[in-house]
Structure 1
Amino acid sequence: MATAVLLSKGRYRARLAQSAVDINAAQALRTFAFGTQQLDSDALDVRCSHVLVEDMRDEQQLVCCFRMLTMDHGREIGRSYSAQFYDLSALAGFSGRMVEMGRFCVHPDCNDADILRAAWGAMTAYVDQNGVEMLFGCSSFAGTETEHYLDAFAMLKDRHLAPKRWLPRVKAPDVFRFAARLRRRPDVKRAMLRMPPLLRTYLLMGGWVSDHAVVDRHMNTLHVFTGLEIGAIPPARKRLLRAVAE
């Protein structure tokens, strides 16, 4: 079977998983990166496309992975991973093709910024090839202590809340309603330092978030629903992403 290469840049190659061996490798990296006791796998793995980013100068070491669940329109959003934690009924009215991007992780021993660029370049190639109009998913903060991230949450409240027509509602039993509770002005520098890199990238492209964070004690994270309408990405950002994807 031919390798479904999405991107090859410098030392990194991003490709779609082609076998159970590939998916097992992604699950193993997720387990290591997330620090879970059991293999990180669920029923959605068999329904998703998996992207593997490999270091071609280091015996094709897997350095990053994520999975994508493609939906033809918003009426399918109930089968997403995110729908377990958020009431996404408002997004059922979205008419375009959507992709849920999930289980994103980078090998903890690899800190090359080009890995994230390769991952986003691969995502851009996939979006262009498949006519995707919205990306969404859960963006996670490490740990469950909200005090560490108050400036980041204050910035999300001030600048990045979802449009009312798409705003997710509360569904999970344990949430931090930062938009309702926070009255502080964010320290921008501290907020950006605390913001997870994946979420930071979404925001730079015009992404938006839910008005509350879910406290996920099983994964030891706080996460916010994150959406990005492809048509709303600033033209300069689109050009940069496509330059990486070419």
Structure 2
Amino acid sequence: MSVVDPPTRAAGFRFRPPFAPNGMSQVIPALRAYSGLQVVGREALLDQEVLGRINSLEIRLATKAKHVRLAQKLRYRVFYDEMSATPNPVAYLSKRDIDPYDGICDHLIVIDRSLPANGRSRFGVVGTYRLLRQSVAAAHGGFYAAREYDIGGLLSRHEGLRFLELGRSCVLPAYRDRRTVELLWHGIWTYVVRHRIDAMIGCASFEGTNADQLALPLSFLHHHAVAPDAWAVRARPSRYVEMNRMAKSMIDTKVAMRALPPLIKGYLRVGAFIGHGAVIDRQFGTTDVFIGLPVASINRRYIEHFGPAAERHAA
């Protein structure tokens, strides 16, 4: 689930906490694992490594658990408070979007140094992205995207490459503009260079779970952006949703592009491919598509714009 663009809230959404009979046996240990949450002021974030800066905004790599918790709080505000995700017991009680991958991933955070250290804005974190390197994923059960897509063939076909999974991206509504997105991409590219990443993968989302209502953009992706055979990935059979819902001749390209979420549109612009088949994510209320982005296919002008040498992003 990734959102760096303004989502559309599902009409009539009401929260229903999904407490199973044995739910509390799972909640208590999980909350203990994330205990010790502190209210962290803006100043406490300033000891993090700064990767880039635009005016008052900075992109940093979180190095402390308490700052990962701030990213989780931000994700909760966007995915659950603003959008139509249904929290599990752990998320509901902690008001944080939590899953087991958080403990093994690296977390990019965007902070606004101009925010006052009071009220709800005291946390200072206005955007985040979660990064998972292949070497780490392999040691902890695999990539998150493997729950929805069969990526084993992709990894085996490119055994000598280093993969990075991108996910859980979100930005507060007031910061969903070009400068924040540029900082996030700058942080990602700095990380890619540092760890010598060869390809990026992940899932990007459409708001809503009715594929018929998304027929135009899904069909556009199927006809114009599906990965070549060497980079092909397919949704798992039990979760596969057909993307080819309209004939290519019926698609108005301009209208279809406008129907794409800005995040997906951004991925396509830098050279990304789309996997075969969409997947419905009931928990988050989204329709997901697989994104594959070989570093070698990224347009050079984007590297020059977002890369570490870009002066306007210099820390």
Q: TM-score, normalised by structure 2?
A: 0.72
Matched, 1:20 2:65: yes
**Contact preservation (8 Å) 2:71, 2:128:** yes
Aligned twin of 1:46: 103
Pick from 223, 230, 242 the counterpart of residue 165 of structure 1: 230
Aligned letter for 1:106? V
> How many Å apart are 1:233 and its aligned residue?
0.9
Aligned twin of 2:8: none
Pick from 198, 212, 217 the counterpart of residue 133 of structure 1: 198
Q: More strand per residue: 1 or 2? A: 1
Aligned twin of 2:221: 156
Aligned twin of 1:86: 149
Q: Distance in 1 between the 2:235 and 2:167 partners?
A: 20
Q: Deviations over 1:144-172 (max 9, x none)?
A: 12233222112212221111122112315
Q: How many residues align?
A: 245
| Structure 1 unaligned regions, length at least 5 | none
Q: Distance in 2 between the 1:76 and 1:89 partners?
A: 15
- Equivalence map 1:2-17=2 (5 Å): 2-17=47-62
Matched, 1:207 2:272: yes
Aligned letter for 1:13? E
Q: Which piece of structure 1 moves more, 117-126 or 235-244? A: 235-244
Rate the CA distance shift 1:176–1:182 in 2: closer, same or farther, 3 A.
farther
Aligned twin of 1:227: 292
Matched, 1:61 2:124: yes
Aligned letter for 2:142? R
Aligned twin of 1:183: 247
Rate the CA distance shift 1:153–1:145 in 2: closer, same or farther, 3 A.
same
Superposition CA RMSD, Å: 2.2
Aligned letter for 1:204? R
> How many Å apart are 1:201 and its aligned residue?
1.1
| Structure 2 unaligned regions, length at least 5 | 1-45, 117-122
**Contact preservation (8 Å) 2:226, 2:273:** yes
SS in 1 for 2:238: coil
Q: Distance in 2 between the 1:235 and 1:77 partners?
A: 34
Q: TM-score, normalised by structure 1?
A: 0.91
- Equivalence map 1:102-141=2 (5 Å): 102-141=167-206
> How many Å apart are 1:2 and its aligned residue?
4.7
Q: Distance in 2 between the 1:172 and 1:78 partners?
A: 20
Q: Distance in 1 between the 2:187 and 2:224 partners?
A: 27
Q: Deviations over 1:36-71 (max 9, x none)?
A: 433311111000000001112224721110110011
Q: Distance in 1 between the 2:254 and 2:281 partners?
A: 26
Aligned twin of 2:75: 30
> How many Å apart are 1:119 and its aligned residue?
0.5
> How many Å apart are 1:74 and its aligned residue?
9.9
**Contact preservation (8 Å) 1:144, 1:221:** yes
Aligned letter for 1:3? Q
SS in 2 for 1:132: coil
> How many Å apart are 1:111 and its aligned residue?
2.8
> How many Å apart are 1:138 and its aligned residue?
0.4
Aligned letter for 1:230? V
Q: Distance in 1 between the 2:273 and 2:137 partners?
A: 17
> How many Å apart are 1:191 and its aligned residue?
1.6
**Contact preservation (8 Å) 1:156, 1:209:** yes
Pick from 162, 165, 176 the counterpart of residue 100 of structure 1: 165
Rate the CA distance shift 1:75–1:40 in 2: closer, same or farther, 3 A.
closer
Aligned letter for 2:115? D
Q: Which piece of structure 1 moves more, 65-74 or 153-162? A: 65-74
